[in-house]
Amino acid sequence: MPGSCAGVGRRLSQSLNRSFAPFAPSLSAPVVHVPSTWSFALGCSGTGFQPCNKGHLTSPHGELPVSPVPCIKMSTPDYFSLFALPRHLHVDLPALEKSFYAQSRKLHPDRFASRPQAEQDAALAAASDLNDAYRTLRDPVGRTEYLLGLEGVQMEEQSRAATAAAKASGTEKKQVAPPDLLEEAFELNMALEEMRMDPDPHTRTDLEAARDKFTAMLADSQQQLEELWSAWDAALDADAIAAKEEARDAMVALLNRRSYIRNLVRDVNEALG
């Protein structure tokens, strides 16, 4: 949860507590819950951004009155919980999209235009989190990597996060070659070096053939990944710990392999221009 929003929540709560302290015990008007740390779930109950018709502001002085509007609830749901989804990797994408747009409407700036700046900022942050969650879950690889992260898995150096970090820092990214690709990767890197130093039609033809081969491998990896999704979902539903661990480990290996192959394809495309 962003620290800046937590600070906003604390300051707003403290300010309201001081302002209404002399009157709070005798007030009973509808109120809004302003927790000491913001979360980005709209509503007082349920998961995701649910409507709230009656909120409350708790403090040492009792409940403080605020006009009845949707409230920002304190919780830290994962992306799946945000959309009331089980941690399955086969996702109903139309249902995900429908839920996303429904929750987005509840966080539209117009709904908070007359509210204090702190509530507007919190709603904006909530909308940003919602967008991140939706983008992640609708992307097959992003969804898989996210779930593995929830399971405590840190992907290898050729992951997309490592690629972005290396690009941002201007450093060379470490890549871990799958054992069965070592020889092919070595030959490809030699061809890439030749292409950079002295491009010729023969080397270009070899690189184009290699690109086609590795691109086909990427397509195959997607089918393999979906098969592992099924294994994971079934193990999750059956609460089969050993089967979950087996599916998890297989997905880690496959995603690392896929990331490495994708980087090879990228390097070939860059060399070919």
Please state which architecture CATH assigns to domain 3-138. Orthogonal Bundle (1.10)
In angstroms, the CA 92 to CA 171 distance is: 39
Q: Which residues of 5-15 are buried (b: 16+ CB within 10 A; e: fewer)?
A: beebbeebbee
Judged by DSSP in three states, 63 sits in: coil
Give domain limits for the chain: 3-138, 164-272
| pLDDT band (50, 70, 90) for residue 172 | low
Q: Are 60 and 25 in contact (CB under 8 A)?
A: no
In angstroms, the CA 99 to CA 17 distance is: 35
Q: Which residues of 48-66 are buried (b: 16+ CB within 10 A; e: fewer)?
A: bbbebeebbbebebbbbbb
Task: Report whether pLDDT(154) > 50.
Answer: yes
DSSP-H helix ranges across 21-87: 79-82
Q: What is the mean pLDDT of residues 120-127?
A: 91
| pLDDT band (50, 70, 90) for residue 212 | very high
Task: Report whether pLDDT(17) > 70.
Answer: no
Q: Are 43 and 68 in contact (CB under 8 A)?
A: no
pLDDT (0 to 100) of residue 104 = 93
Residue bearing the bigger pLDDT, 27 or 236: 236
Phi and psi, residue 61, nearest 5°: -100, 5
Q: Are 73 and 109 in contact (CB under 8 A)?
A: no
Reported pTM: 0.65
